[in-house]
Amino acid sequence: MGYHFEYDPVNKILLGTFEGELTDESAAEFYEAVRRYAHATNPNAGIWDLSFATANAVSSDFVRNLARREPAMPDADKRPRFLVAPATAAYGLLRMFELSGGSRRPMLRVVHTVSEALSALGVASPQFEPIA
């Protein structure tokens, strides 16, 4: 399991990419990493890419409980954020997260690709740089 974060300082977009087996534990760890990087960069938007996640072993109870927690990125009513999941199973779990936490995260959308998220943000050529 691993993840990395990149930031586009021009458009102020934080991109977090998760790689490896997605379990309750690894999802919780990624969620906390999103929180840390969001506070460090203060982005206008966030994209959390799970395109490289494998073997979705996340329980639906965990997803619903996570959705009830405080949003990882502040100002959830003002800052768009996107969950990217091309695989059907992961997409369904993320939609459950979106629907369960909708009142806490009104600007959250689940999409199939990072390009779809960037298009929704109106960004054609992002300038992502790795964050140490």
pTM of the full structure: 0.93
pLDDT value, residue 42: 96
- Residue keyed to tokens 């996640």: 53
| CA atoms of 41 and 6, how far apart (whole Å) | 10
Q: Which domains does the chain have, with CATH numbers?
A: 2-130 (3.30.750.24)
pLDDT value, residue 89: 80
- Give the C-alpha distances (Å, rounded to integers) separating 87 from 18, 68, 75: 14, 24, 28
pLDDT tens digits in sequence order for the chain, 132 residues long: 699 999 999 999 999 999 999 999 999 999 999 999 999 999 999 999 999 998 678 888 999 999 999 999 989 899 999 999 998 888 888 899 999 888 889 999 999 999 999 999 999 999 999 997
